[in-house]
Amino acid sequence: MNIVVVGSLNMDLVSHVPRLPKAGETITSTSFQTIPGGKGANQAVAAARLGANVHMIGKVGCDTYGDMLLESLADSLVNTGGIGREGTTGMALINVSGRGENNIVLVPGANGMMGKADIDRHIRLLEGCDVLLVQLEIPLAVVEYAVKLAHDRGKLVVLNPAPAQSLSPSFLRHVDTVTPNETELELLSGMPVETLSEIEAAAEKLLGLGPKRIVVTMGEKGALIVNADGATHIPALKVQAVDTTAAGDSFTAAFTVGMAKGMTDEEAGTFASRVAAIAVTRHGAQPSLPTLAEVDALQAE
């Protein structure tokens, strides 16, 4: 079960504040944390903790944050040989209010320096994988290049289309599975997503562009899987959520692991729902991601 993740690595700089500041206002933080993050790194760690053999291709800076991100990946047994170093490490500057609201400024840093040559340099990793997992926090041209190389070699390709942006039909034809949330689905399909029937219709439109399945994550409403056989709703487990930061990343990674293990779409969706349910009961992105033993223990309850 070999998974290659091509994507971003960020250091999340999190300030906890009583409320979000207004324009021009200065307020005092109640606490501050530096937490390893980035959608690519989060998904790599999540998949590795669930038992997959994970290699990551990405880029961090030549600085202390870069050292910390590599260490965090290695601690979760993610293979880091595909991660280069250049410039400064990407960062996410995050304010979180006491009500759970947030605002985020993303500093691409080394992530924005990713190029096609970084993929070519590690082509053997793509050739040896079962699944390629990508997101959209590095230059789109690099994502498209990696996806085409993997598709041409008969690999499964999973796309988490975040942050949301328009994607060409030619790109989507090279993708097996797309895992948008409702906002991303609305942008990709150009259709409303207010109701479950609208979400299904929008997913069906996206399915018609080439992917084999669309897996829409809907928070506490669960997930909707749309494939050639129709639509399947996966309910969310009822838990007391304290931080939904890694909900989408953990679900996508878990669904990818399920596919790599040969699960059906519904089995993979149910597995991913359990993983996300555990992640949202813990604070932080990577610190919240569960191990396979923890998921199995939840299933046994």
State the binding site for K(+).
243, 245, 279, 282, 284, 288
Token pair of 270 as six digits:
């149910």
Q: How far is CA 242 from CA 253, 256, 280, 283, in A?
A: 20, 25, 6, 7
In the set 75, 152, 229, 249, the catalytic residue is 249
Residues contributing to the annotated binding site for ATP: 181, 217-222, 248-249
Task: State the DSSP string of the chain.
Answer: -EEEEE---EEEEEEEESSPPPTT-----SEEEEEEE-HHHHHHHHHHHTT-EEEEEEEE-SSHHHHHHHHHHHHTT-EEEEEEE-SS-EEEEEEEETTS-EEEEEE-GGGGG--HHHHHTTHHHHHT-SEEEE-SSS-HHHHHHHHHHHHHTT-EEEE---S-----HHHHTT-SEE--BHHHHHHHH-S--SSHHHHHHHHHHHHTTS-SEEEEE-GGG-EEEEETTEEEEEPPP----S--TTHHHHHHHHHHHHHHTT--HHHHHHHHHHHHHHHTTSSSSGGGPPPHHHHHHHHH-
Annotated binding site for substrate: 10-12, 38-42, 137, 249
Residue ranges at the known binding site = 10-12, 38-42, 137, 181, 217-222, 243, 245, 248-249, 279, 282, 284, 288
Hey, which residues does 34 pair with through a beta bridge? 13
* Dihedral angle sign, alpha carbons of residues 149, 152, 153, 155: positive
Would residue 249 show up in a list of annotated catalytic residues for this protein?
Answer: yes
Active site residues: 249
